Amino acid sequence: MKQMIILVFLQFGIFLLGVMAQDNPTINHCLDCHLDLDEKFADPAELFSQDIHFQVGYTCADCHGGDPTTDDYDEAKNEDMGYIGIPEQTDIPELCGNCHSDPSTMIQFNPNIPVDQTAKYWTSQHGESLKKGNTQVATCTSCHGVHGILSHSDSRSRVYPGNVAAMCTECHGYKPLMDQFDLPIDVYDDYAESVHGKAVLERGDFSAPTCNDCHGNHGAKPPDVVSVKMVCGKCHVNNFDLFRRTKMSQVFEMRDLHACEVCHNNHRVLHPTDDKVSVEEGGVCIKCHRPGDEGYTQSQSIQSTLVGLKQAILQSQHVIADAENKGMDVTDVLFDIQSAIDVLIRSRTMIHTFDAKEVENTAEPGMNLTSDALRKGQEAIVEYKNRRIWLGISMFFITFLSVILYVYIRKIESD
């Protein structure tokens, strides 16, 4: 009878374990104790229950070592069971790499997931400093978090594209830390002002780059002279293609100038205006070119072409708007103007050839389109006036005829 009772309890125990295993198939008694402790110990446990590693069945012991299957403090934290406590900062990359650099492990979760993060990390500015023993640098947990690590596609994640800039700024905006590396702390402000920052931070447009898109994520470092144009060229393909064929590209490299950055800035990439290609104040060409040299003349010509086309577009738009306000149908002309605007955009792209003739040739169809549009707009306004003149003339004749008819009716009716 006694054996029967024990057997029934055992069966019940196995059943309970089975039910618990359906929620989380892995036994992790660390959480049971930590959740009952004060905030210092409970918070990591609380966070870990949201962690992506916990979701796929990893336990505290997979990073900290020890035995998670026992609720005995000493047994759980037994160093013989591999318990290491809080990992050293210098050990973190390899600790994460134990799994993340192992293709056979990572393939279980995502067949396309990269496994070179640790290798890349050691090539990064952060990794190189860490190798030299500087622990004031970022490791995996600095960016991804410690116990509450979320997928990069989760908008709450620290490494979600919209959060990356703010996350990097935690260190790169911290003066005491950056002073140690002689690095500026205004990068975030510059980025937030840039076209890229406005797209990412204000409009949530993640096709625009954030920090890791230019610097790399795990292998983060500043792009060097040669690779700047490659980095920008990832997205600005046409501009890159035009630029790399120019003499300027070679001259920039020789003079250790950072290609795109020289004219557009690095973090503070503002919306370019035609005034930038100018030898006037605010122009970028006069940074290097002086009156009389070829670049100076080319800059003047390029700006003249672009401003000329832009003004021609504005003028035709003004005339067309006037015609539209007068009720004339000028839809076809609006298409022409849109085509001219496309030509202007292409012409602006051709700035990257630094060849005034190329820019002029590209802009020429736009000038033709705008002069056509202007002519059609002016014709529409003349037509508008003519319509009223002809209306007046026809009204005069119809009224005249009406008066004659009226007089005739009066005459025959009075007879």
Partner 1 sequence: MWKRLRLWIDQRFETEFFIEFLKKKKVPYGKGWYWYYFGGITLFLFLVQVLSGILLLLYYKASADSAYESIRFIMSQVKFGWLVRSIHSWAANLMILAAFIHMFSVFFLKAYRKPREMTWVTGAVLLLLGMGFGFSGYLLPWNELSYFATKVGTDIIGVIPLVGKGIMTLLRGSEEVTGATLPRFYGIHVAVLPLVFTLILAIHLVFVQIQGMSEPRGWDTLPEEKKVYIPFFPNFILRDLLLWLIVFNILAVLAVIFPWELGQKADLFAPAPAGIKPEWYFIFMFQTLKYIPPTILFIDGELLGIITFGIGGLFWLLIPFLDTTAEGTTRARLIKYGGIFILAFIVIMTIVGWLL
Q: Which stretch binds partner 1 (CB under 8 A): 33-41, 216-224, 361-369, 395-403?
A: 395-403
Closer residue to partner 1, CB minimum distance, 311 or 399: 399
- Least distance in Å: CB of 316 to partner 1? 17
Binds partner 1 by CB under 8 A, chosen from 17, 21, 56, 398: 398
Closer residue to partner 1, CB minimum distance, 311 or 394: 394
Residue 8 as a binder of partner 1 (CB under 8 A): the answer is no
Tell the burial category of 267 from Cβ atoms under 10 Å away from its Cβ (0-12, 13-18, 19+).
buried
Tell me which residue of 126, 120, 118, 123 sits closest to 101, measured CA to CA: 118
- Separation of alpha carbons 328 and 172, rounded Å: 58
- Separation of alpha carbons 356 and 361, rounded Å: 9
Residues in the interface with partner 1 (CB under 8 A) total 20
- Tokens 């040739």 correspond to 361
Closer residue to partner 1, CB minimum distance, 279 or 381: 381
Residue 332 as a binder of partner 1 (CB under 8 A): the answer is yes
- Separation of alpha carbons 102 and 119, rounded Å: 12
Residue 409 as a binder of partner 1 (CB under 8 A): the answer is yes
Closer residue to partner 1, CB minimum distance, 105 or 402: 402
Binds partner 1 by CB under 8 A, chosen from 86, 112, 412, 414: 412
Residue 338 as a binder of partner 1 (CB under 8 A): the answer is no
- Least distance in Å: CB of 382 to partner 1? 14
Binds partner 1 by CB under 8 A, chosen from 15, 109, 174, 406: 406
Helix/strand/coil percent split, the chain, to 5:
65, 0, 35
Residue 321 as a binder of partner 1 (CB under 8 A): the answer is no
Measure the CA dihedral 130/96/148/172, to 10°: 20
Measure the CA dihedral 209/210/213/215, to 10°: 130
- Separation of alpha carbons 281 and 18, rounded Å: 76
* Binding region for partner 1 (CB under 8 A): 327, 329-332, 387-388, 391, 394-395, 398-399, 401-402, 405-406, 408-409, 412-413
